[in-house]
Structures are given as structure tokens and as C-alpha cells.
Structure 1
């Protein structure tokens, strides 16, 4: 049974994509959480299209979570997971977010329907000496993937590495890939980032099987599994 998130005034789910939007055919849901600005969606839109192509026949449906401004993004993510359960029943939910949406996905991972989290260039703030560290206990029992560009000037990639290292201690099913020379929006290697994300989501939501790089990253001890380089041509190598 889902936990009930606080009301997310103004938030809503975008149109369903994949699985024809038919409730009877849905066996997994991806909730896409955008960044702080609609003008900076990062790889979320191409990821939505790729997931619809890759998972539609398996019953995967995706929804963008439309930010309403009346609640925190974390609350909106929790509300969206509740709404997914209301619409589709007891199916696994993946929270996939970029930037501020990546942080919201991580924070809302404790929802009982969530089985996996994809955090693309999550926007993290280093806590002050009197501030508590970013929580990680809610990630326990979930499949978790961080992806971050090494040249991200907007969100420090080392902050996501440190958070991933703490998360790995609470949850072995955590890995992190570094996109060398790419910035916050992950534009330079967008095709590889999308292919990696699709591989992770399909494995986490359905089969439990991943490509060899993701399998190795999940199995490797820190720091190796948290600094995995995303190889050029990742998607092409899988298709080949």
C-alpha cells in the first residue's frame, strides 16, 4: 500500500507514454522529474521517448511530473508515486530525475511503490557544519544509479560522489557513472546517457538484468563502482 504524500497543489502527471497508456497493460511506471527550469530539461525528454520505445511492449508507461509550485519537489514526487499506484495498481515505480528533479527522486525514494531511482546530475548542496547530511536510509532496498558529468559547473559532481558513497554503505545496489568532459545538461554524450538510463530502468523495473558495465558497477566496491566511466558509444555497443 502506498504511503500518502502531502497534497501537491498544482502538480500533475503529464500524458502517459508507452504501453498505449492502457491500465490493463501497465506493469511498470517511470516518473520523470524535470530540473528547476522548463528551459533546461537536460536529457529527460529524449529519455522519455527512448523508454517508450524500449519498454512499451513490456508494459512500461512514463509520465512527466509537472511542477506546480505549491509544494516541494520531493512532496510532488511522493504525490506522483501515490497517483501512479492509484491509476495502475501495485506496479514497480522508478523515480528518474534531472538536476533538482534528481535530488527530489533521491529524497522521495522511501515511498513503498518505488523500487529504483535514477539521479541525473542531481543538484546537491554541501551541508554546513550544523546541518544534517543528506539522508540515504530511504534508498535501502532500491536499485540506484547516479550519472554526473565531470565538467558540471552547476552541480558539483564530487558532491554526488560523496552522497553515492554514503548511499552504497546503506544499500549495496548503488552505482554511479561519470560522463567525462560533459557539463550539467549532459549534452555532449546525450545518446550514451540515455542508453545507460534505459538499460538501468529496464533492468530495475522488469528483468533484474543489466548490461555488463552496469552489472560491474553495482558489484564493484567503492570507489570503483562509483566512478565508472561512461564509454563512448555505449548504446551502439549494446545494439551491436
Structure 2
């Protein structure tokens, strides 16, 4: 019996300023799909503005479907906000295959979130989980990349930035479908994440400053079998 499952990391709050606000589950994203806009919402009341979004990618390979690879690339621009809650998650499962007939399961999720405010409360959760269930010799990789862009004043990502991000999105689609070994796939996914970080930092380099500086933060979590 080969039933490996790594413990899920605690759903800890990431970021300098954290509050508990509602997070709603998003639907499963297909290959090269962006999670539907319904997963991102904003609410106002009493002069306060709260925003939340959830992105979730799930891939499951088994004897009937030996290879499954899915990815998501979403951009959430919230504008001015008093509280922001975001969740990004990638889960990959390989089940019931053998060393002679191995499975391959890949799930990658890139989530970009922008918001503005001098005293915004942030609750950011970024998780990945790769599981082998009685699956000897299988390759299973889950990667969650969450990019948090905070600026004192609202800044919109212009057409040129959107075009550059679209190019990375297409590269991610190609990488997800490439069939590369998990170690190589992880390395190239990290390279795409570095591209996104550079694009976003350039985009806010000249953003209006306040008591706080514009900031781009990457939250990265990868899990996989074989281990790495």
C-alpha cells in the first residue's frame, strides 16, 4: 500500500496587517481558465469598503485519466479598500496507478491582487497540496503563487501591463500542458512568477506615494511527489 499524504499547512494569515473577513469558495478552474468574476466581490456600508476573492485549481489523475493538468491565472483589481481577504489554492491528486503505468497530475494557480489604502487590513491565504493515493511512481505537483500589490492611492494596471501579463498567462498554459518532469516544471513556474513580479514592480514604480510605499509581495507554496 502506497498512500502518501502530506499534512496540509495551517490556514495562517499572511501579511503585515490581518483581520478576519469572509472568504467565499471559488469553482474549480479548468485548463487555461480564469476563475469566474463571481469569485471576487466588494461590499460597501457605513463608509467602509471590503473586498474578497478566492481562486481554486484542482487536478485528479487516475487509471482512466492518466494525465491531468490544470492552471488558473487571475487578476483582481479592487481599488481603494479598508479590508481585503484573498485565498489562492492549488490541489493535485494522483490515485491508483502503478510504476509501469504511472499517472501525472499538475495544478498551478497564479493569483494577482491589487488594492489601495494607507491602513488596509489584509487577510491573505495561499495553499497547495499534492497527494499520491496508492500511486507508485506517479508525478504530482501543486503550485500556488499569490501576488499582492498594495499602493497608497489607487493605480490601475494599464493595457501594456495587461498585455505583458497575458503573455505570461499563455506561457503558463503551455508549461502546464508541456509534460515536463515535475522538477523542471517547478523551476520554470518559478521563472514565470519572477516575470510577473518584475512586471508588477515596474507598473507601480511611479505610483503616488503616501505614508506607506507601493509594495509587491509574492506568496509561493509548492507541494509535490516525488519530493523536492
Q: Does TM-score exceed 0.5, indicating one fold?
A: no
More helix by share: 1
TM range (shorter): 0.3 to 0.5
Pick the structure with more strand per residue: 2
With the length of structure 1 as denominator, give the TM-score of the two structures: 0.31
TM-score when normalising by structure 2: 0.33
